Amino acid sequence: DGGITQSPKYLFRKEGQNVTLSCEQNLNHDAMYWYRQDPGQGLRLIYYSQIVNDFQKGDIAEGYSVSREKKESFPLTVTSAQKNPTAFYLCASSMWDRSDTQYFGPGTRLTVL
Amino acid sequence: GQQLNQSPQSMFIQEGEDVSMNCTSSSIFNTWLWYKQDPGEGPVLLIALYKAGELTSNGRLTAQFGITRKDSFLNISASIPSDVGIYFCAGRTSGTYKYIFGTGTRLKVLA
């Protein structure tokens, strides 16, 4: 089955700890994205990556870091510098061609206690 | 960051009624995407549009890419209870991988 997987579905961490969210895709997509969604809100872009070993900051990158060592993987680290990390995190990917569309994973709900 | 203006913010409708929602942007887009999100899940792609004036259907859903390339519309005909959810539009301009998302339309269907 082709698709995007995110793990875990629910994650709890203590304040001050870094945490890494996993995102894997087997769609052979070039680009990958991380979004944050707060209750009742839309999606805000954290980071995105067009190709391996390259990524750009989105609108709310402060307190987050990413890496793109492999085409199929784009992990997101929520650092202790992120002031309000509790949120729903969504990973997505897309192909860069005429029929570009962006597909989402199932999301990870992070709760910082 | 920039966001699209999506309206209405929420809708309460009776089962069987038709629904219309739209998104407008100050920028010209090359691609418009429409998604549906259920609570606690990732958005699911409903319809993708690539050309000004394009009209595309997916079952009871129909979406259009506005002629000005700054707007898009989504219609749902004969709504059913499982249409409940949040509908998002998203657009992309030429030369960028970055998508801009609308604020969402929350749809509730009364049986």
Query: Which chain A residues touch B31 with a CB distance below 8 Å?
Result: 100-101
Q: Which residues pair with A36 in a beta bridge?
A: A44, A89
Residue A92 reports pLDDT greater than 90 = yes
User: Could you give the count of Cα atoms lying within 13 Å of A80 in the half-sphere of its Cβ?
Assistant: 5
Q: Give dist(CA B52, CA B1) in Å, integer.
A: 25
Q: Convert the pLDDT of each residue in B9-65 to its tens digit.
A: 999 999 999 999 999 998 899 999 999 999 889 999 999 999 999 999 999 999 999
Q: Convert the pLDDT of each residue in A32-85 to its tens digit.
A: 999 999 987 789 999 999 899 999 999 999 999 999 999 999 999 999 888 899
Query: Which chain A residues touch B97 with a CB distance below 8 Å?
Result: 31, 48, 50, 94, 96
**Torsion angle, CA of B92/B64/A28/A24, rounded to 10 degrees?**
80
Q: Give dist(CA B37, CA B59) in Å, integer.
A: 17
The whole-angstrom distance between B20's CA and the closest CA on chain A is 19
- In which residue are the tokens 């998203």 written? B90
Q: Convert the pLDDT of each residue in B69-109 to its tens digit.
A: 999 999 999 999 999 999 999 998 887 778 889 989 999 99
Q: Convert the pLDDT of each residue in B101-111 to its tens digit.
A: 998 999 999 88
**Torsion angle, CA of B111/B45/A65/A95, rounded to 10 degrees?**
180
Average confidence score pLDDT of chain A:
91
pLDDT score at B3: 66
Q: Which residues pair with A80 in a beta bridge?
A: none
- Sign, CA torsion B96/A98/B75/B28: positive
C-beta neighbour count of B2 within 10 angstroms:
11
Pick from A4, A24, A43 the residue to mutate for testing the B interface (most B CBs within 10 Å): A43
Q: Does A94 touch chain B (CB under 8 A)?
A: yes
pLDDT score at A2: 67
